[in-house]
């Protein structure tokens, strides 16, 4: 039964234990709890039956993709990190890559603790609950830097605390949220940043429109009459210049306060986003595709930062353009 331990019955979604009574489909090899098999009376892994596939071959492919260990005695492909073959029990040798990836932590009592830096679960059980989700699923969704986020999420869970320091959110919260694929928070924080810097943006626009270089450029492009096409907007900005100057400091302080809040609560917001997203995927995704969907839906994206930067300038330009059109 060892070869099925840790995998899931696709009917009840529970993992097989060593002592479970297991029934295997004679056609595709998919394992079931005997009670689950008897409740349905047949194999429900229809995608494999449709293509004549093998459950074991599918498991072997998945384990190869994540660096599974091949037993030299029986050739069974084990999940990474195990010391003994799940099929025949033979002790598996540690590869040089695994040895080099281990990190030693010196404990206060003088003992050393080792863990595998390539293990997304940071040496913890993937079945450990993070609220209603499995730690393994959470780690698959987080993708990068689990060594930082998994212990942090466990602290949120165990202590109920919601604050921690996220210095990226202190300066660029919208970039951080976009990088972590939190588009709702990226857009919200970006809009709040634009609104809190609006007095500065309007004063900058007034400076640009009244500069000699800009007026000369308009005269070259549109003639003497064209140089005055934005006089209405300039008049509006000049009449309210004192108001904008008075609002500059309060809005700047609001901006600082907003960034401090994102610095303190940014990691917790990400924690809530991860748990909620993993829960949705768990309820809707097929078991065979769950890990792949978690990895593609989560993780990080540098191009999201580029998109966020472009979106920011598009919004600012749209505000300027709208004001120019209104006061032309």
> Count of residues for the chain?
328
Give Cα separations from 260 to 149, 271, 286 (angstroms).
20, 18, 40
Note the pLDDT of residue 86: 78
* pTM, two decimal places: 0.64
User: To the nearest whole number, what is the mean pLDDT of the chain?
Assistant: 85
Q: Residues of 276-301 as b/e, b for ≥16 C-beta within 10 angstroms?
A: ebbeebbeeeeebebbebbeebbeee
Q: Per-residue pLDDT for 289 more than 80?
A: yes
Note the pLDDT of residue 156: 94
What contacts 303, CB < 8 A, 6 or more positions away?
none
Q: Per-residue pLDDT for 75 more than 70?
A: yes
pLDDT band at 304 (very low <50, low <70, confident <90, very high): very high
Note the pLDDT of residue 246: 95
Note the pLDDT of residue 1: 44
Note the pLDDT of residue 100: 56
pLDDT band at 90 (very low <50, low <70, confident <90, very high): confident
Listed residue (45, 86, 3, 38) closest to 288, CA to CA:
45
- The more confidently predicted of residues 197 and 95 is 197
Query: Of 11-15, 183-187, 218-222, 292-296, which range is least confident?
Result: 218-222
Region 90-116: mean pLDDT is 59
Note the pLDDT of residue 60: 82
pLDDT tens digit string along 123-134? 778 888 999 999
What contacts 139, CB < 8 A, 6 or more positions away?
120, 121, 122, 126, 146, 150
pLDDT tens digit string along 211-262? 888 888 878 877 777 667 888 888 999 999 999 999 999 999 999 999 999 9
What contacts 201, CB < 8 A, 6 or more positions away?
194, 316, 319
Q: Per-residue pLDDT for 210 more than 70?
A: yes
Note the pLDDT of residue 216: 83
Pairing outcome for strands 69-70 and 133-134? unpaired
Region 303-317: mean pLDDT is 91
Which 3-state string (H, E, C) describes the chain? CHHHCCCECCCCCCECCCCCCEEECCCCCCEEEHHHHHHHCCCCCHHHHHHCCCHHHHHHHHHHHCCCEECCCCCCEECCCCCECCCCCCECCCCHHHHHHEEEEECCCCCEEEEECCCCCCCCCCCCEECCEEHHHHHHHHCCCHHHHHHHHHHHHHHCCCCCCCHHHHHCHHHHHHHCCCHHHHHHHHHHHHHHCHHHHHHHHHHHHCCHHHHHHHHHHHHHHHCCCCHHHHHHHHHCHHHHHHHHHHHHHHHHHHHHHHHHHHHHHHHHHHHHHHHHHHHHCCHHHHHHHHHHHCCCCHHHHHHHHHHHHHHHHHHHHHHHHHCC
- The more confidently predicted of residues 16 and 43 is 43
């Amino acid at each position: 039964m060892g070869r099925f331990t840790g995998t899931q019955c696709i009917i009840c979604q529970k993992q097989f234990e060593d002592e479970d009574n297991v029934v295997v489909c004679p056609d595709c090899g998919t394992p079931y709890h005997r009670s689950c098999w008897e409740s349905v009376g047949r194999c429900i892994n229809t995608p494999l039956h449709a293509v004549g596939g093998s459950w074991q071959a599918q498991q072997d492919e998945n384990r190869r993709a994540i660096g599974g260990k091949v037993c030299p005695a029986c050739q069974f492909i084990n999940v990474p990190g195990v010391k003994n073959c799940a099929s025949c029990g033979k002790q598996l040798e540690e590869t040089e890559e695994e040895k080099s990836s281990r990190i030693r932590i010196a404990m206060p009592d003088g003992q050393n603790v080792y863990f595998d830096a390539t293990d997304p679960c940071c040496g913890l059980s993937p079945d450990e609950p993070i609220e209603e989700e499995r730690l393994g699923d959470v780690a698959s969704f987080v993708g990068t830097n689990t060594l930082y986020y998994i212990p942090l999420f466990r602290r949120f869970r165990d202590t109920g605390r919601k604050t921690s320091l996220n210095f990226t959110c202190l300066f660029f919260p919208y970039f951080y949220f976009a990088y972590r694929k939190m588009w709702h928070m990226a857009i919200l924080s970006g809009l709040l940043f634009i609104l809190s810097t609006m007095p500065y943006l309007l004063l900058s626009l007034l400076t640009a429109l009244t500069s000699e270089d800009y007026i000369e450029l308009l005269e070259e492009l549109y003639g003497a009459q064209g140089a005055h096409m934005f006089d209405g907007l300039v008049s509006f900005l000049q009449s309210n210049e004192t108001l904008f100057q008075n609002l500059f400091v309060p809005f700047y302080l609001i901006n600082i306060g907003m960034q401090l809040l994102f610095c303190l609560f940014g990691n917790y917001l990400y924690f809530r986003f991860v748990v909620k997203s993993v829960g949705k995927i768990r309820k809707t995704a097929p078991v065979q595709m769950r890990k792949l969907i978690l990895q593609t839906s989560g993780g990080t994206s540098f191009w999201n930062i580029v998109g966020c930067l472009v979106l920011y300038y598009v919004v600012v330009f749209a505000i300027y353009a709208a004001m120019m059109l209104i006061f032309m």
